[in-house]
Amino acid sequence: MDAIGLGWVIMEPKDGLPLILQKAGGLQGTFSYMAFAPAHRIGVFVAINQFNLGAAKKMAEVANELIDTLSPR
């Protein structure tokens, strides 16, 4: 095998947030969210064991806020 392409979502810098690459998923009662700001060497991984769309959306928001808090100004 030579390569694998992954479908990461890229969020351009906005409102103080740095460029963020993120990936979310859910299967069999769990949701997970991974995001990182490569320029700031910050990464966050979160998982919940409840299949709840509202909680999954909030989980992503909190993870991105954590990246914002940890990134230098």
Please give the tally of structural domains in the chain: 1
63 lies in some domain: yes
* pTM of this structure: 0.81
Domain assignment present for residue 34? The answer is: yes
Tell me what pLDDT residue 1 has.
56
**Per-residue exposure over 31-61, b if at least 16 CB sit within 10 Å of its own CB, e if not:** bebbbbbeeeebebebebeeeeeeebeebbe
Assess whether pLDDT exceeds 60 at residue 3.
Answer: no
Whether 43 maps to a domain, the answer reads: yes
Per-residue pLDDT at 15: 83
Category of 41 on φ-ψ map: left (φ > 0), alpha (ψ -120 to 50) or beta: left
Asked if the structure places residue 4 within a domain, the reply is no
pLDDT tens by residue, 14-66: 888 899 999 998 888 889 999 999 999 999 999 999 888 889 899 999 999 99
Specify if 3 maps to a domain.
no
* 37 assigned to some structural domain: yes
Domain enclosing residue 38, as ranges: 9-70
